[in-house]
Amino acid sequence: MKKIAIALGLVIAIATGAVFWLNRNIDGLVQTAVEKYGSEMTKAKVSVGSVEIKPADGRGVIRGLTIGNPAGFKTSHALKVAEIEVALDIASLTGDVITIRKIGVSSPDIIYEKGEGMTNFDAIQKNIADYLGPADKAKDKSTKDKSGKKLIVEELTISNPKAEASAAFMNGKTIGVKLPTISLRNLGKAKGGVTPGELGQEIAGALKARLSAAVSFDGLMKSMGGALDKAGSAVKGLFGK
């Protein structure tokens, strides 16, 4: 489930970064950028329903964000987010550390699918790593990022989250998992600000505790296997064998 947390953190970081273009870009350009670069990185279709940015008050909304699955998986998507709201401290945009007053993620829908060789989120993470290139280049990029703008998030709320699990033997069907609303505060504040990538890691660490217990593929296999055994016995009974 760590892969789910990292991916969700990445989505939030991408969406937040898009809203930083407040003074130079229009809604359609932000939407195109998220779809284009998100799809290239994940090798899965990334789509956005709409983008609304209000430069005057530092607010932005991205609606209908969907990350599909890489080739080879049977479920409809890896992640859907109905709405992401971002509110910035406009005064902080001229400094080295940008203060984000609030990030609100509404009703994220996660499908965690285990394929024959890896999960859909394993595949997405691998595709992102391939896109970024060798570790030495990633390190250079990280060093460069640290010299630019950093972020502090005063409040992040993930409301009404839900997760579904699937495996190859389920042929695209899923089983639902309930998750509580998640609230985090003062991300990056102790470090004097973090890069978008580091923000994603902080979110990932906080989510891991909630998500790691939500899905056990071993448990799913046992429960589904037991149900299949009972169904098989019932069918046999109909034929007297």
> Does the pLDDT value for residue 4 go beyond 70?
no
Q: What is the pLDDT of residue 28?
A: 77
pLDDT at residue 232 in the model: 37
Average pLDDT over residues 52-56: 79
Q: Which residue has the higher pLDDT, 177 or 85?
A: 85
Rounded mean pLDDT, 104-127: 85
Between strands 50-54 and 46-47, the pairing is unpaired
What's 44's DSSP letter? S
- Say if residues 185 and 155 touch (Cβ distance below 8 Å): yes
In this prediction, residue 161 has a pLDDT band, given cuts at 50, 70 and 90, of: confident
213 C-beta neighbours (distance < 10 Å), count: 11
pLDDT (tens digit per residue) in 139-160: 444 444 444 678 999 999 988 8
**What confidence score (pLDDT) does residue 26 get?**
62
Q: Is the pLDDT of residue 34 over 60?
A: yes
Q: Return d(Cα 50, Cα 48) in angstroms, integer.
A: 6
**Rounded mean pLDDT of 221-235?**
49
pLDDT class of 193 with cuts at 50, 70, 90: very high
147 or 105: which leads in pLDDT: 105
Q: Mean pLDDT score of the chain, rounded to an integer?
A: 76
**Average pLDDT, integer, range 166-178:** 84
Q: What is the dihedral of CA 201, 131, 103, 84, to 10 degrees?
A: -140
Taking CA atoms, 117 is separated from 58, 72, 121, 124, 228, in Å, by 44, 10, 12, 13, 23
Instruction: Name residue 83's beta-bridge partners.
Output: 63, 106
Quickly tell me which residue has 């809604």 as its tokens. Answer: 27
pLDDT digits (tens, 9 = 90+) for 198-214: 776 677 666 656 655 66
Spatial distance between the Cα atoms of 16 and 60, rounded to a whole number of angstroms: 9
CB 159 within 8 A of CB 151: no
Q: Indicate the SS3 state at residue 94.
A: helix
Whether the CB-CB separation of 187 and 199 falls below 8 Å is answered with: yes
pLDDT at 7 over 80: no
Distance CA 78, CA 69 (A): 6
Q: What is the 3-state secondary structure (H, E, C) of 77-133?
A: CCEEEEEEEEEECHHHHHCCEEEEEEEEEECCEEEEEECCCCEHHHHHHHHHHHHHC
